[in-house]
Amino acid sequence: MRKGFWIALVMLTLPLTMQAQDAHFGAGSMVVGGNIDLSALQLGYGGSFEYGITNSIGIKPGIVIHNYDLGTQTWSFTVIDGWATYHFSGGGFLSFMDPKKLDNYAMLGVTFASFGVSGGTGNEETSSSFGFGGGAGSRYYFNDKLSFSAEGKYRLATFKTDTYSLAIGWYTISVGVSYAIN
């Protein structure tokens, strides 16, 4: 719990120490992306769309799907996120890169997660839950449109079925490619 507190504190205060970003993100910006996610839930794949409301604030819905087989059980896990993003400049740990090619951002948002499990208990069980999360990310632009993206996220949600009662918090590392539509 203490570790989670410090992570949340850093994510909330980091944007306050940075300057507003205007190189690749602004009001009316639209960026679509595809990503591969690595978490305790193994590998997943997903996509997102971000829209710039102001020069530094955006909204970013996204979806990630995880499916895996443990031998005796098969799990599926789908996450739909609604993130608010704050874009800033100042390289931070990426200061060795050209700041004109970077788009750094912090994220806070809500999560809707759904999981299903079959096998093991003899029947299929499903559950869905709302939760919340936070994170940070960066895009490195190769040109005006195409970029490499990387994000770190932490989400919290609870689930209940006849057999399972889960309160989970999970970290996700995402890497992918983004494309600026306009």
**One-character DSSP codes across 19-39:** EEP-SS--TT-EEEEEEEEEE
Q: Which residue has the higher pLDDT, 96 or 80?
A: 80
Q: What are phi and psi of 166, to 5 degrees?
A: -120, 130
Provide, rounded to the nearest whole percent, the portion of the chain with pLDDT above 70. Answer: 79
Of residues 74 and 154, more confidently modeled? 154
CA dihedral 150, 33, 126, 117 (to 10 degrees): -60
Q: Residue 172 contacts by C-beta under 8 Å, 6 or more apart in sequence?
A: 37, 38, 39, 44, 64, 135, 151, 152, 153, 154, 155
Instruction: Determine which of 39-43, 58-62, 80-84, 91-95 has the lowest per-residue pLDDT on average.
Output: 91-95
Q: Which CATH architecture has domain 2-55+62-128+135-180?
A: Beta Barrel (2.40)
Helix (H) or strand (E) holding 137: strand 125-141
Is this prediction's pTM over 0.85?
no
The band of 14, judged by pLDDT with boundaries at 50, 70 and 90, is very low
CA distance 52 to 49: 10
61: number of Cβ within 10 Å: 14
Q: How far is CA 61 from CA 13, 50, 122, 132, 182, in A?
A: 23, 7, 35, 13, 18
**Of 82-91, 134-143, 159-168, which gets the smallest average pLDDT?**
159-168
Strand partners, 131: 111
Of 20-29, 65-74, 127-136, the range with the lowest mean pLDDT is 20-29
Quick one: 43 exposed, middle or buried, by C-beta within 10 A (0-12, 13-18, 19+)?
Answer: exposed
**Which residues make beta-bridge pairs with 137?**
105, 151
Domain ranges in the chain? 2-55+62-128+135-180
Kindly report the average pLDDT of the chain as a whole number.
Answer: 82
